[in-house]
Amino acid sequence: MAGIHIRNIEDYNEAYALSINNPEKFWEDIASEFQWKKPWTKTLEWNFIEPKIKWFEGGVLNITENCLDRHLESAADKLALIWEPNEIEGSTLKYTYSGLHKEVCRMANVLKELGVKKGDRICIYMPMVPELTFALLACARIGAIHCVIFAGFSADSIAGRINDCGCSVVITSESMSRGNKKIALKTIIDEAIDQCQTVEKVLVFADTKSTVQLKKNRDYLYIDLASNASDVCPAEPMDAEDPLFILYTSGSTGKPKGVVHTCGGYMVYAGYTFANVFQYKHPEIFWCTADIGWVTGHTYSLYGPLLNGATTLIFEGIPTYPAPDRFWKIIEKHKVNIFYTAPTAIRSLMCEGTEIIEPYDLSSLKVLGSVGEPINEEAWHWYNENIGNSDCPLTDTWWQTETGGIMIASIAGITPSVPAHAGLPLPGIQPVLLDADGKELEGNDVEGYLAIKFPWPGILRTTWGDHERCRLNYFDTFKGYYFSGDGAKRTAEGLYRIIGRVDDVINVSGHRFGTAEIENAINESAHIIESAVVGYPHDIKGQGIYAFVIASSKDSDPELLKKEAEEMVMKYIGKIARLDKIQVVSGLPKTRSGKIMRRILRKIAEGEINNLGDTSTLLDPGVVDLIIKGVV
Ligand code: WTA
């Protein structure tokens, strides 16, 4: 994709200017670098009021042809995928482009055999194994809509997603290894499906046949079906605006929303941003540590690299298993050139000291990336100096599940990279900062609500089954804009610095949870009458979860109540939303109209009790003192 590369600051300036002055021409040039079965007839149709956004209408394509088939002529033997297992003594697996192509086609044929058709929703609940990548691409090959559920969500969470998207087939694994734990995924899936009507078939990966419990006429072992399946499968022609995948993400309202991305626009945006932000050059090895269960894994472990014919490394384990040098070992072993991880991982590895890094040769590294939450200056410097040897451009990439790909970031080595600043918008991205009345803040050195005023190809199109929810969540707060839910500063130099969420979303280790979602889970307990959850600064996780709970009976044992609250969160959301602090309280600060004053609870959770602001308008101001007494 030679024509789309930014190689110096002049290229950036030129691309950015064109993308503002003539966005359609700008994106047409980029889109034409991809392989289309039929060219599009209308580049863009949009309004942010309904909202209605269509890119490359009339165009027909299949993203897997762009990820795989297109590279076969010139790079069939190039490595597409390297897999590093959880166990250090386990075997690394490698797939060339032609090998991956065959695996994807084989699995696509297995799915067809199970009756999967274009437009069907397929939920995928799997560990980070190569078969997970085959599963996503196999769905895309035949036009089924994949919906990956991170393998840390509980049966209830899975059921909620399956029921919301009306999924007919689930792809899972018997179990998953994560550090020194083994988790029985299939059992969790069975429990989830008990609450669902739409699931007809379950496709199961297993190491040993004998141990899996299979339900007759519903569950099938992959290995049984794959042995007869052909490794040739034509790619389904997809309209540019056909959905490619659904990914559930939390917002400020109760239930997670199914963010919908489409085939054409997502492909163009994933491919373009990968090529430029990381300045990938053949035959470099790119490693994004995110799980494919999150959007970062979708766009930068899988689609972005493959669209560019790159080699992508995926890792099943955790950074600290069997020892906290695992990342550095893998970088040395595979001579990784580009490393993309999250601030929470960096902070947890910082605690281990630099002696642990010293034995490793990290000189293959050329570019470092960060994603998921604001990276604090200390972590930025540590990452830059100890991992990058102060010699690798560091790109702090701001984006969201809803944006499909990176929006604001340093183009590695080309546009400014300042500690704790995401930097300049990528070409095609028009960010604005708004005041509370929705007025654009002009000039630099300003702070406000971060919104985007013009569509880009990777923007979400809807939330599955409920377009109004999409409108209300992203397009209603500030009319005519896409609102990110984040606050940001624009510095004197015009660089963006993300401050964090301004809505009721907590970002724990780079993962989003709505406070209402967690409260709903806790409130399921018969012993808890009400709860309020807020985020507070956490050294490793960025934000921790602080829950205030009220017992339904005066003589409940506070320790049991805390356990109960924890269990509810495990049951209804999953282990990843673990509560960090739980405080049993007798009441919550509320306005006279009954609204919980989270601002006050946040201050208490942060320990800022001398700075609570005006509490006199509360229904019962005394309640604040009681809570504080419990805290200190
Ligand atoms: C936060 C992850 C600051 C932000 C790709 C956003 C960031 C939310 C950064 C999206 C960053 C992500 N600097 N904040 N570089 N990257 N965020 O949907 O609050 O899981 O709104 O997408 O993470 O999280 P999501």
For 153-157, 215-219, 553-557, which range has the lowest pLDDT when averaged over its residues?
553-557
- 497-508 pLDDT, tens digit each: 999 999 989 999
- 171-192 pLDDT, tens digit each: 999 999 999 999 999 999 999 9
Give dist(CA 58, CA 60) in Å, integer: 6
Mutate to test the pocket of ligand 1, among 507, 511, 576 (most ligand atoms within 8 A of CB): 507
What one-character DSSP code corresponds to residue 401?
G
For 4-13, 245-254, 511-520, which range has the lowest pLDDT when averaged over its residues?
245-254
pLDDT over 70 for what percent of the chain? 99
Provide the pLDDT for residue 632: 37
> What's the whole-number mean pLDDT along residues 455-460?
98
> What's the whole-number mean pLDDT along residues 510-525?
94
Q: Would you say residue 254 has pLDDT above 80? A: no
Provide the pLDDT for residue 2: 46
Ligand 1 atom 5: residue of nearest CA: 400
How crowded is residue 360: how many other Cβ atoms within 10 Å of its Cβ? 16
Provide the pLDDT for residue 211: 79
- 376-390 pLDDT, tens digit each: 999 999 999 999 999
Q: Record the tokens describing residue 373, joined without a space.
A: 């939450």
Give dist(CA 260, CA 263) in Å, integer: 10
- 389-444 pLDDT, tens digit each: 999 999 999 999 999 999 999 999 999 999 999 999 999 999 999 999 999 999 99
Q: Is the CB of 427 within 6 Å of ligand 1?
A: no
Give dist(CA 379, CA 394) in Å, integer: 12
Ligand 1 atom 7: residue of nearest CA: 373
Q: Is the CB of 259 within 6 Å of ligand 1?
A: no
Q: What angle do CA 489, 295, 372 make, to 5 degrees?
A: 35
Mutate to test the pocket of ligand 1, among 289, 377, 398, 506 (most ligand atoms within 8 A of CB): 398
Domains of the chain: which residue ranges?
Answer: 97-236, 505-629
Mutate to test the pocket of ligand 1, among 512, 543, 576 (most ligand atoms within 8 A of CB): 512
- 534-566 pLDDT, tens digit each: 999 999 999 999 999 999 998 889 999 999 999
Q: Is the CB of 403 within 6 Å of ligand 1?
A: no
Provide the pLDDT for residue 3: 59
Strands 181-183, 505-508: pairing is unpaired
Q: Is the CB of 498 within 6 Å of ligand 1?
A: yes
Give dist(CA 454, CA 168) in Å, integer: 36
Whether residue 453 contacts residue 480, with contact meaning beta carbons closer than 8 Å, is answered with yes
CATH architecture of 505-629: 2-Layer Sandwich (3.30)
> What's the whole-number mean pLDDT along residues 97-104?
98
Given CA atoms 418, 422, 426, 429 in this order, what sign does their dihedral have? negative
Give dist(CA 247, CA 244) in Å, integer: 10
Provide the pLDDT for residue 616: 81
Provide the pLDDT for residue 78: 98
Ligand 1 atom 6: residue of nearest CA: 400
Q: Is the CB of 371 within 6 Å of ligand 1?
A: yes
Q: Is the CB of 172 within 6 Å of ligand 1?
A: no
The DSSP annotation for 279-299 comes to T--TT-EEEE-S-TTSHHIII
- 574-616 pLDDT, tens digit each: 999 999 999 999 999 998 888 888 889 999 999 888 888 888 8
Q: Is the CB of 485 within 6 Å of ligand 1?
A: yes
The class level of CATH for 97-236 reads: alpha beta
